[in-house]
Amino acid sequence: MIGSHSFRKSKLNTSNYNQFSRAKRSLQGQKSWQLFLHRGGDLLFATWVGLICAVPPCYMQTDFQLPAEAAELKLAQAVVPISPRAVNPLSLDLTDDLLESDRNNLLQAIDNSIQYIRTPTADRRYPVAGISRDLMERSLVRFRRLVQVSRTANDLQQAVSREFDLYKSVGRDGTGLVQFTGYYEAVYKASRTRTGEFQYPLYRLPDDFDQWRSPHPTRAMLEGSKQLAGLEIAWLSDRFQAFLVHVQGSARLELPDGKLLTVGYAGKTDQPYRSVGAELVRDGKMRLEDVTLQTLIEYFQKNPQDLVTYLNRNPSFVFFRETNGKTATGSLGVPVSAERSIATDKKIFPSGGIALIRTEIPFENPKTGKLELRQVQRFVLDQDTGGAIRGAGRVDIFMGTGDRAKQRSGLIKGDGELYYLVLK
Give phi and psi for 360, each to the nearest 5.
-105, 135
Name the pLDDT band for 387 (thresholds 50, 70, 90). Answer: low
299 burial type by CB count under 10 A (0-12 exposed, 13-18 middle, 19+ buried): buried
Give phi and psi for 406, each to the nearest 5.
-60, -45
Domains of the chain by residue range: 68-180+331-423
CATH of domain 68-180+331-423: 2.40.40.10
Listed in sequence order, the DSSP H helices in 170-257 are: 219-223, 239-248
Question: Per DSSP, what are the bridge partners of residue 420?
Answer: 167, 355
Do residues 51 and 7 make contact, with C-beta atoms less than 8 angstroms apart?
A: yes
pLDDT per position as a tens digit, 340-358: 999 999 999 999 999 999 9
SS3 content of the chain, % helix, strand, coil (to 5): 35, 25, 40
Say how far apart CA 65 and CA 40 lie, in whole Å.
Answer: 7
Cα 225–chain centre separation = 31
Q: Give the pLDDT confidence score for residue 117 in this predicted structure.
A: 98
Query: What are the E-state strand segments in 33-161?
Result: 79-81
Do residues 347 and 57 make contact, with C-beta atoms less than 8 angstroms apart?
A: no
pLDDT per position as a tens digit, 120-156: 999 999 999 889 999 999 999 999 999 999 999 999 9
Listed in sequence order, the DSSP H helices in 150-238 are: 153-163, 219-223
Which residues have C-beta within 8 Å of that of residue 322, sequence separation ≥ 6? 204, 233, 261, 262, 263
Q: Give the pLDDT confidence score for residue 388 in this predicted structure.
A: 62
pLDDT per position as a tens digit, 244-262: 898 877 899 999 999 999 9
Q: How many CA atoms lie within 13 A of 56 on its CB side?
A: 21
Examine the pLDDT at 38 and tell me if it is beyond 80.
no
Name the residue among 357, 342, 355 with its Cα closest to residue 420. Answer: 355
> For the whole model, what pTM was predicted?
0.73
Q: Give the pLDDT confidence score for residue 13 in this predicted structure.
A: 39
Say how far apart CA 304 and CA 86 lie, in whole Å.
Answer: 54
Q: Give the pLDDT confidence score for residue 342 in this predicted structure.
A: 97
Give the amino acid at 148. Answer: Q
Q: What is the per-residue DSSP string for 4-46?
A: S----GGGS-HHHHHHHHHHHHHHTTSHHHHHHIIIIIHHHHH
Name the pLDDT band for 315 (thresholds 50, 70, 90). Answer: very high
